[in-house]
Structure 1
Amino acid sequence: MIVAFLNQKGGVGKTTLALHLAGAWAAQGKRVTVIDADPQGSALDWSAQRAKEAVPRLFGVIGLARDTLHREAPELALDVDHVVIDGPPRVAGLLRSALLAADLVLIPAQPSPFDGWASAEMLKLLEEARIFRPQIIARFVLNRCAARTVIARETAVGLADHDPPVLTSCIGQRVAFADAARTGRLVSDIDIASPAAREITALAAEIDRVMR
């Protein structure tokens, strides 16, 4: 299965979610490769920091920020159970290629009107990609979400009947994610019983259900 975290808006947490989903699957014994398709190379930087900190490697991270991704990702998927693509912001050709590579497109969004407006362009690209690959499944993922705020509840309700719909799993605005990223770790490396780690486990389980 090829899962791509895509949104043209930067700063929505694509890299964090991609790495943590890969880690959750790796913890289940799955073979996982993360493709860093962002020219900024944040996932590659995280992987290098993990090696520097001598933290055990859980999955491979490779850089593939080019618009041949839709041809190369399926080939990589033959050797692993899952491929997770960390997509680029505002690189239209590369974004289209990632869309055409994916079985499941996850669109991270924060509970904010600005993210909703920014997602409109992403949805147009998704609609175009479905002309060539109508089987692409897509979902919104609420990220950096303060669950008790009114805007978070309103965003979840507003997306409930949307196409694509929003996943039930919601990832909170937690310092643990920033602390983990700084040291090349995952929140589960730091505390497997933490709220952040439980949210990631719930997200991975829901994605598995969606793709059954």
Structure 2
Amino acid sequence: MILTLANQKGGVGKTTLSVNLAHAIALSKKRVLLVDADPQASASTWAAAREEPSPFPVIGMARNTLHRDLPELLENYDHCVIDSPPRVSALARSAILASDLVIIPVQPSSYDVWAATETVQLIEEAQQFRPEIKALFCINRKVVNTAIGQEIGAALAGYPFPILKSAICQRIAFAESSAGYSVFELAPTSTAANEIKALSREILKLLGAKAW
């Protein structure tokens, strides 16, 4: 399974989700590779900041031929998570073309909802070449018990892709884990860790993979 986190708007939390989802999948006793396809190299920087080896391999692969080059690297892995770049580009298109499933993280704000249009268009273009590519929205950095957090689902209803039931809320644990750790290392029993676990289970189940 190749899972890509994609959104043409920057600052939506793609790297944080990518790192924590990769670790959740690794904890399910699956071999997972995290591919950093963002020229900003945030995921690679995360891995370099660690004092101990990462619980999963992280490689930089910010190239426009990603969809052609990646398959031969995945023979020894069960799953792959791609942290894709912001902005419409050949690299973003290549990351989406490589995917079995594209997750679009969206923050609960009107601007994020409007900005999702470009990402949806990129995915629909890729589906013309690979109709089997699936896409889903993931509500990220949701503020608990706020009206805008509750209304985001209705705001996304006009798009052709469904919304994952598992939302990720704004938690201090995610900010604290950004410097070379995941929430499973810094706060393994936290609500943040449980939210990522639930998200990983839902994604794996949708793809027909065994969930932990």
Q: TM-score, normalised by structure 1?
A: 0.95
Counterpart Cα distance in 1 of 2:167 and 2:120? 20
Equivalence map 1:106-185=2 (5 Å): 106-159=103-156, 162-182=159-179, 184-185=180-181
Q: What's the CA shift for 1:63? A: 0.4
- Corresponding position: 1:25 with 2:25: yes
**One-letter amino acid of the structure 2 residue matched with residue 104 of structure 1:** L
Q: What stretches of structure 1 move > 4 A for 4+ residues in a row? A: none
Q: What's the CA shift for 1:91? A: 4.5
Query: Is there any run of 5+ residues in structure 2 with no aligned partner, and where?
Result: none
Counterpart Cα distance in 2 of 1:49 and 1:16? 14
Counterpart Cα distance in 1 of 2:38 and 2:85? 4
Q: What's the CA shift for 1:161? A: 7.0
Greater mean alpha carbon deviation, residues 72-81 or residues 127-136: 72-81
Counterpart Cα distance in 1 of 2:94 and 2:82? 11
**One-letter amino acid of the structure 2 residue matched with residue 43 of structure 1:** A
What residue in structure 1 maps to residue 15 of structure 2? 15
Aligned residues: 208
Counterpart Cα distance in 2 of 1:141 and 1:74? 25
Counterpart Cα distance in 2 of 1:73 and 1:109? 26
**One-letter amino acid of the structure 2 residue matched with residue 11 of structure 1:** G
Counterpart Cα distance in 1 of 2:73 and 2:110? 37
Counterpart Cα distance in 2 of 1:76 and 1:173? 34
Q: What's the CA shift for 1:85? A: 0.2
Q: What's the CA shift for 1:157? A: 3.1
1:34-79 per-position Cα deviation (integer Å, ceiling 9, x unaligned)? 10000000000000111xx22x421000000010000112222222
Q: What's the CA shift for 1:193? A: 1.0
Q: What's the CA shift for 1:159? A: 3.0
Counterpart Cα distance in 2 of 1:144 and 1:84? 20
More helix by share: 1
- Corresponding position: 1:193 with 2:181: no
**Does the 8 Å contact 1:2/1:77 carry over to 2?**
no
Classify the secondary structure of the residue corresponding to 1:167. Answer: coil
**One-letter amino acid of the structure 1 residue matched with residue 109 of structure 2:** S
1:7-53 per-position Cα deviation (integer Å, ceiling 9, x unaligned)? 00000000000110100011111111110000000000000111xx2
Classify the secondary structure of the residue corresponding to 2:189. Answer: coil
Identity, % of aligned positions:
52
What residue in structure 2 maps to residue 209 of structure 1? 205
Q: RMSD value over aligned CA atoms?
A: 1.2
1:54-110 per-position Cα deviation (integer Å, ceiling 9, x unaligned)? 2x4210000000100001122222220001000001141001101110000000000
Counterpart Cα distance in 2 of 1:120 and 1:24? 29
1:140-196 per-position Cα deviation (integer Å, ceiling 9, x unaligned)? 0000111311111111233357421110001111111111112x1111111211000
Query: Is there any run of 5+ residues in structure 1 with no aligned partner, and where?
Result: none
